[in-house]
Structure 1
Amino acid sequence: MTGLPSGVSRTAVLIAQAREGESARPSGLFRDPLARPLVEAAGRIDGVSEAGRRAADHFVLRTRYFDDRLTEAAAAGIRQVVLLAAGLDTRAFRLDWPEDLALFEVDLPDLVAFKEKVLADQGAQPRCARKAVAADLREDWPAALTEAGFDPERPTAWLIEGVLMYLAPEDGARVLERVGELSAPGSRLSAEHVNEAYLRQPAMKPAMNRLQATQAAWLSSVEDPVDWLAGFGWRAEVTHQADLARSLGRPVPPMADSSVVGAARIWLVTALS
């Protein structure tokens, strides 16, 4: 079966392929048995470039980083999680959630329809109360989210993974404004972004050209994520990829090695309201 929409949605396949590969490792940082069925249904992306292979290392580290942030939020008593631009995410099925936790996945209608069919075909059963919400982050997604049962009066753990760089600066700011409006005291936010130096790396040019050709260009960057998120009411901390890799007993990926990438940075951020 094929049918995953083109554009940004196709990037979700590369991320799922990275999760599939990591799950096959005896010492994998996580296990995702649904990654392979999702990849096979979507159509595997072959001939991945060197930049793509390096990105896979980042996807693996990023996945574990955000896994830990979300499970920490649940352990702290938060019972509402929202994944914005969830893509082919399977955290509802593979993480050990409290039974009373509600998890919402927001993404484009075509992608949601594709993913729901694959999950149904696999007989996948979530480990929490899961709700898929079909909505575009550039439109009125808060209305769709609340209609699906989201409660803005309850503290929420938000995840904005792998999407902000695809949004124009004004659209990204609007997403953060809306997240702030929906966040009760005690909410948490985890997010990823990049700085301009990362966008301008010569090594990234082939990948950027391919993304642009599939209508998935990167449109924004952030130089100081702590200051940026403070403007939306969040107290943020940044974890650098190199430190994350070392803490997990993994080699520092070339794309996180300052001797290789210079001032280029991928920001992994966690924040409190």
Structure 2
Amino acid sequence: MSSDQQWDIVSGVGVTALAVAAGRATESTRPDALITDPYAPAFLAAASSTAPFPTTLDELEERAGASGLWPLMTAYLGVRSRVFDDFLTGAAREGARQVVILASGLDTRPFRLEWPAGVRCFELDQPLVLDFKLAVLTEQGAAASCAHTPVRADLREDWASALDEAGFDAALPTAWLAEGLLPYLPPEAEERLFKEIDRLSASGSSLAVEDVSAVDELAGDALVRDGGTALGIDLPSLLPDGTKRGPRDQLDSLGWRYDERPVLESARRLGRPMESASRLMEHMFHAFARRP
């Protein structure tokens, strides 16, 4: 993926956001659903004429399910979404009045979660992605349960200035989320991301990230490759070149207190054990850090 490439919801990295919305739509239909996203089906319907994969759940199951990846992916997305839902709402209950969702994609947390009074949620992503999402939410009559501020910015560029111009207050403790983001950032952009988060974070701020420590191995796995092909996603082409230090090393060096939890442990805690996917998920972690 070139450093100047932009995308909408049916191209580039944007396609992965649409696939994640499909996963949340599927999760929402489960009797043991860990999250409910009432808007995910509307995103699929709105993208139906240009999406690279079917946008009805039955057709998705038929096409992507044949690879074996779809059931694992949707089950995991339920776990991931719930873990980070709990992180953000927990931080807000503890007093964080700013939430920043980086590369928010088609996430709808400002609209589907209940927030304490006084919380402001900033969502950063590519302009065309946010425009698509907001148009669909408007059509659905969706109302945010917090102060909602979309910020059109490329996280490989000077996103911090855009956030500042949108009204972000660096003097307030902030809860940051980087979900499904780090694998797509070049090494230098990832380093810059963490440095900017540190610079903008008051004492008591917190951060959650999804850490995939062996993303090249995961992308090259036959199950992931075949499943991606079924969804029209060439995952290796979306991943940048270069070697990264990893979030633990970067945040430790910035003075943050860092902890991580294997994805399989998160799944067990939520009553959805995924040992059948251990080969895929053994290098995946949900990581949490706090700025003293």
TM-score normalised by L of structure 1: 0.89
The one-letter amino acid paired with 2:258 is A
User: 1:26 and 2:48 equivalent?
Assistant: no
Greater Cα shift, 243-252 or 227-236:
227-236
The one-letter amino acid paired with 1:9 is G
* 1:5 to 1:232, Cα distance in 2 relative to 1, 3 A: farther
Name the CA distance, whole Å, in 2 between partners of 1:160 and 1:213.
19
Name the CA distance, whole Å, in 2 between partners of 1:83 and 1:155.
14
Mapped contact 2:99–2:176 kept (Cα < 8 A): yes
Name the CA distance, whole Å, in 2 between partners of 1:205 and 1:69.
31
* 1:228 to 1:185, Cα distance in 2 relative to 1, 3 A: same
User: 1:198 and 2:204 equivalent?
Assistant: no
The one-letter amino acid paired with 1:249 is G
Name the CA distance, whole Å, in 1 between partners of 2:83 and 2:267.
10
Shift of residue 230, structure 1, vs aligned partner: 0.9
Aligned counterpart, 2:116: 98
* 1:172 to 1:104, Cα distance in 2 relative to 1, 3 A: same
Residue 228 of structure 1: which of 250, 253, 260 is its match?
Answer: 250
Superposed counterparts of 1:48-63, under 5 Å: 48=64, 49-63=67-81
Q: Percent identity?
A: 40
Aligned counterpart, 1:38: 43
Superposed counterparts of 1:139-158, under 5 Å: 139-158=157-176
Shift of residue 236, structure 1, vs aligned partner: 1.2
* 1:223 to 1:149, Cα distance in 2 relative to 1, 3 A: closer
Aligned counterpart, 2:14: 9
- CA RMSD in angstroms comes to 2.3
The one-letter amino acid paired with 1:198 is L
* 1:225 to 1:178, Cα distance in 2 relative to 1, 3 A: closer
* 1:228 to 1:111, Cα distance in 2 relative to 1, 3 A: same
Name the CA distance, whole Å, in 2 between partners of 1:80 and 1:41.
30
Mapped contact 2:178–2:210 kept (Cα < 8 A): yes
Structure 1 residue matching 2:142: 3-state secondary structure: coil
* 1:242 to 1:180, Cα distance in 2 relative to 1, 3 A: same
Mapped contact 1:166–1:220 kept (Cα < 8 A): no
Name stretches of at least 5 consecutive residues in structure 2 with no aligned partner. Answer: 1-7, 55-62
> Which aligned runs of 4 or more in structure 1 are off by greater than 3 angstroms?
197-215, 218-225
Mapped contact 1:195–1:264 kept (Cα < 8 A): no
TM-score normalised by L of structure 2: 0.84
Aligned counterpart, 2:57: none
Residue 241 of structure 1: which of 257, 263, 267 is its match?
Answer: 263
Greater Cα shift, 221-230 or 184-193:
221-230
The one-letter amino acid paired with 1:243 is E
Name stretches of at least 5 consecutive residues in structure 1 with no aligned partner. Answer: none
Shift of residue 51, structure 1, vs aligned partner: 2.8
Structure 2 residue matching 1:268: 3-state secondary structure: strand
Name the CA distance, whole Å, in 1 between partners of 2:241 and 2:205.
28
Tell me the number of residue pairs that the alignment of Structure 1 and Structure 2 aligns.
Answer: 267
* 1:146 to 1:225, Cα distance in 2 relative to 1, 3 A: closer
Shift of residue 124, structure 1, vs aligned partner: 0.5
* 1:85 to 1:168, Cα distance in 2 relative to 1, 3 A: same
Mapped contact 2:220–2:236 kept (Cα < 8 A): no
Structure 2 residue matching 1:189: 3-state secondary structure: strand
Aligned counterpart, 2:59: none
